[in-house]
Structure 1
Amino acid sequence: MKTTLGILQLLALMVLIFGTIPGFAQPELAQPFRDCRVQGSITLYDYKTGHWTFSDSIDAARATQPASTFKIINLLIALESGVIRDEQEVVKWPGHTDTVLYGYRPDIYKDMTVAEAFRVSAGWVFIELAKRVGRKRYAYYLDRSGYGNGNLSEKGTDFWNFGPFCITPVNQIRFLVKVYEGKSPFSRRNTGILRKVMLTESNSKYQVWSKTGWTRIDGRDIGWWVGYVESAGRTTFFATRLCKLRSEKNPDFGDCRKSITLQVLRQLQVIE
């Protein structure tokens, strides 16, 4: 009897924390992943109702490197610490490339504003900013923000792509909600700049604020799309993460981050 009660209490706690029981996926949300031939999950949070939706609640609680989605908090930290004045500050191209880690992208090898670097995901710009911020300030703001696992032991500057610093999809959303509510350690001015830079799509039916991410580590590709959608007075946060072996060729991997997310949002009638 006690064992049964303990199990029921555990399941109730899981529902309270996750909105569902880990391991019990919603099959109708898994089909887009199969269609794209990728592993992964999508996690959604309805701000008005407080309801969480998962395609795979176990995966939603698993931490991996945030890749370029880290640019969201990286921009805020650079602004808050005074490393940059605003999103229009120009960062000088340092004059080197790394085609092994990031791929050859000659279109981004130039001086550019922080806002442009955010939009085109020019990692080198944020690596230059990271050199100015320093690990102590990162540790301070990451801890106050409750963002990630706090492991900054990776010696390289680009710790959000390579190394043990990781974050879960649920944590991604919880942080975005804090920023949205004005409960993060960042000023209203700086979160306003972030909101302006994060605007990805705007039409008569909905608006999307988001950031993609993609890293290659331990023989795997890890792809993200995180953000939130406002439509018809409704705000929905999302975190989609895809994973595959690098040995498995899939030219649609990058596009699938968004196509899966939009398909699920339409399926749940968040957007038309």
Structure 2
Amino acid sequence: MFKRLKVVVVFLSLFSESFAQLDHHDFSELCSIPNAQRYFEDCGVEGTVLVYDTSRDKLFASDVASIYGPSLPASTFKIINSLIALETGIIPDEHYIVKWPGVTDTIKYGYRPDIYNDMTVEEAFRTSAVWVFLELAHRIGKHNYEKYLTLCGYGDPSAIAERSDFWNFGKFELTPFAQLTFLKRLQQGSLPFSKRNMDIVKKIMKTEVSGSYTLFSKTGWTRENGINTGWWVGFIEKEKGAYIFVSRLLQNRKNNRHDFGSCRIAISKAILKELEIID
């Protein structure tokens, strides 16, 4: 049984953040997930999982204290990056082909010859091809990033660096709660982008379709500052409503384990099953 905590008491006692951060969330209740820590321990990580039930207006949290702890968004930034590229006309649609520039930094991104070729934006999103989104970032420019990140309340626009993947390396950070806020607005179609462009991004996020639900998601992983920072974020649509989820794992690379990548999804799905959201 989940331990129910009144949202006003929790936010007043545990968070020093401004109530302005709750503009897009007026949760009726915040519920802890008391057994979630065992999944993090099994993977040798520290972590946070948030699940928002839109139909019941409830937020479930595995670790309330870290909701506002910021970190690099890594490849989850490809969601908003795609939206900005579409909205500014940098790309017309998900089928737009980005030409392979002929070189990439294999020290930073590893050696992945399977993605060293011309790719559509949709292919790049699904394979997490960093070089494609670096090319788009160069075209988008700092001014457009500042405009749309501000409109979306997504991180600190002043922390972005031009002509770089500031979402993987640097000082641009996002909290799990901010991820949740952004994803809720995307799922509900209330972001400052056209419906067409939001629908395109939802389409390329579609990850899994079962008899009872459709799952939209994006993974992320960066190794900056000696820390593995891993994300799995998205939403699940069911006949009775939608569920927004955000998972973030942190691991000191001195304790690096081969299963870190798979743990992002495994932990999230275990908790989603406990909440009876997926089978």
Is residue 2:256 matched to residue 1:249? Answer: yes
Deviations 1:186-234 (A, max 9, x none): 0000001011100000011221000000001111110000000123423
Unaligned runs of 5+ in 2: 1-7
Superposition pairs of residues 17-96 of structure 1, within 5 angstroms: 19-20=29-30, 26-96=33-103
Letter in 1 for 2:62: S
Q: Distance in 2 between matches of 1:11 and 1:43?
A: 15
Unaligned runs of 5+ in 1: 1-8
SS of the equivalent of 1:104 reads coil
SS of the equivalent of 1:100 reads helix
Letter in 1 for 2:183: L
Is residue 2:8 matched to residue 1:13? Answer: no
In the superposition, relative to structure 1, how do residues 103 and 12 fare at CA in structure 2: closer, same or farther (>3 Å)?
A: closer
SS of the equivalent of 2:200 reads helix
Instruction: Check conservation: 1:14, 1:20, Cα contact below 8 A.
Output: no
Is residue 2:229 matched to residue 1:222? Answer: yes
Deviations 1:7-37 (A, max 9, x none): xx8656358968549xxx6331211111212
Range with bigger deviation, 178-187 or 67-76:
178-187
CA deviation after TM superposition for structure 1 residue 246, in Å:
1.4
Partner of residue 262, structure 1: 269
Letter in 1 for 2:206: L
Letter in 1 for 2:215: V
CA deviation after TM superposition for structure 1 residue 131, in Å:
0.2
Instruction: Check conservation: 2:75, 2:219, Cα contact below 8 A.
Output: yes
Partner of residue 114, structure 2: 107
CA deviation after TM superposition for structure 1 residue 257, in Å:
0.5
Q: Percent identity?
A: 46
CA deviation after TM superposition for structure 1 residue 175, in Å:
0.7
Output the TM-score relative to the length of structure 2: 0.89
Q: Distance in 1 between matches of 2:268 and 2:11?
A: 28
* Structure 1 stretches of 4+ moved >4 Å: 9-12, 14-21
Instruction: Check conservation: 1:154, 1:162, Cα contact below 8 A.
Output: no
Deviations 1:20-55 (A, max 9, x none): 49xxx6331211111212111101111111111111
Q: Give the superposed CA RMSD.
A: 2.0
Q: Distance in 2 between matches of 1:14 and 1:49?
A: 24
Instruction: Check conservation: 2:30, 2:58, Cα contact below 8 A.
Output: no
SS of the equivalent of 1:127 reads helix
Q: Distance in 2 between matches of 1:20 and 1:132?
A: 41
Deviations 1:78-133 (A, max 9, x none): 00000000000000011112121111111111100000000010011000000000
Letter in 1 for 2:73: P
Q: Distance in 1 between matches of 2:182 and 2:11?
A: 24
Letter in 1 for 2:48: S
State which of 163, 168, 177 in structure 1 corresponds to 2:175. 168
CA deviation after TM superposition for structure 1 residue 179, in Å:
1.7
CA deviation after TM superposition for structure 1 residue 249, in Å:
2.5
Deviations 1:244-264 (A, max 9, x none): 111213100000100000000
Instruction: Check conservation: 1:75, 1:194, Cα contact below 8 A.
Output: yes
